[in-house]
Amino acid sequence: MPPRQPRRAAVQTLESWQAAGVSHIRPKRGTEKSAPPAAESTPVAAPPLPVVAPAPPADRQAALCQLAEVVSRCTRCTELARTRKQTVFGVGNPHAKVMFIGEAPGADEDKQGEPFVGRAGQLLNRIIVACGWQREEIYICNILRCRPPENRTPLPDEAANCREYLDGQINIIQPEYIVCWGSCAAQNLLGTTESIGKMRQRWFTYANARVLCTYHPSYLLRNPDAKKPVWDDMLLLLKEMGLKPPKLAT
């Protein structure tokens, strides 16, 4: 009898791809014809595995649930799987136009199983409201689905292990806009080492989405002076979407 483990792993991988609506796999880099970049966007050479589904699955909620179930059993990062209370998959509208990507769950998120529910999350919620949205309208996830011990920065291997799940969520939701909050999200999604300060106020493309990068809400908690540039970035996003921020009572 052959060992069962490799087969199970392969089936799980296929299940998670299927859940993500993946119907074809991008050929190795260099063998494909690259799509022309969107005007005034900085094109980003996608890493080998984002597999861009031609169409989202009919039932996005079901596809997300199926992928979340696969993620909940993930042990690719031995240390994270051992130390997490639970995985933190993502939350929000499966039909969201806008996807937010943060870094990784912290202690509060690890406890509650939802991204951005701690202090940074409360600030993020205020930014969402200032833009005229409700939290439930958008989709929020992270580069990692497990809390790194002591909230250390995600390791490159961890981000790589979790990438298939992030790309799965992007494939299912097919957001028109992605906001990367902080340098971890921006650098990992776009495969660059450019600083967040140099990436903000510019448009990138990833999968079918236009991508904007800005400072992380945790950074704003430590550096309130950065709130103005983040608001400028949100205004750029709203303008691109043909929206205006609401006048809020002060």
- If you ran DSSP here, which 8-state letter would residue 235 be given? H
Q: Considering beta carbons, is residue 16 or 142 the nearer one to ligand URA?
A: 142
Shortest CB 151 distance to ligand URA, Å: 8
Please select the residue that binds ligand URA; options are 46, 127, 166, 196, rule is CB under 6 A.
196
Interacting residue with ligand URA among 51, 84, 91, 103 (CB under 6 A): 103
Yes or no: say if 184 and 103 are a contact pair by the CB < 8 Å rule.
Answer: yes
| Count of residues interacting with ligand URA (CB under 6 A) | 19
**Residue recorded with tokens 């799987």:** 81
CB burial of 32-58 (b: ≥16 within 10 Å; e: otherwise) equals: eeeeeeeeeeeebebeeebbbbeebbe
Q: Which is nearer to ligand URA, 104 or 209 (CB)?
A: 104
Instruction: Find where tokens 């945790």 sit.
Output: 218
Q: Considering the rule CB under 6 A, would residue 154 count as an interface residue with ligand URA?
A: no
Dihedral pair phi/psi, residue 230, rounded to 5° = -65, -40
Cβ 177 vs Cβ 98: under 8 Å = yes
Q: Least distance to ligand URA from the beta carbon of 59, Å? A: 26
- Taking the complex as a whole, the smallest distance from the CB of residue 153 to ligand URA amounts, in Å, to 8
Q: Quick check: 183 binds ligand URA (CB under 6 A)?
A: yes
Burial 65-86 (b: 16+ CB within 10 A, else e): ebbbebbeebebbeebeeebee
- Does residue 116 touch ligand URA according to CB under 6 A? yes
* Pick 104 or 159: Cβ nearer ligand URA: 104
- If one asks whether residue 215 binds ligand URA (CB under 6 A), the answer comes out as yes
Strands of 204-206's sheet in order across: 91-92, 139-142, 98-102, 177-181, 209-214, 204-206
Tell me if 106 contacts ligand URA by CB under 6 A: yes
Least distance in Å: CB of 179 to ligand URA? Answer: 12
Which residue ranges make up the site for ligand URA (CB under 6 A)? 102-106, 109, 115-116, 118, 120-121, 142, 182-183, 196, 215-216, 218-219
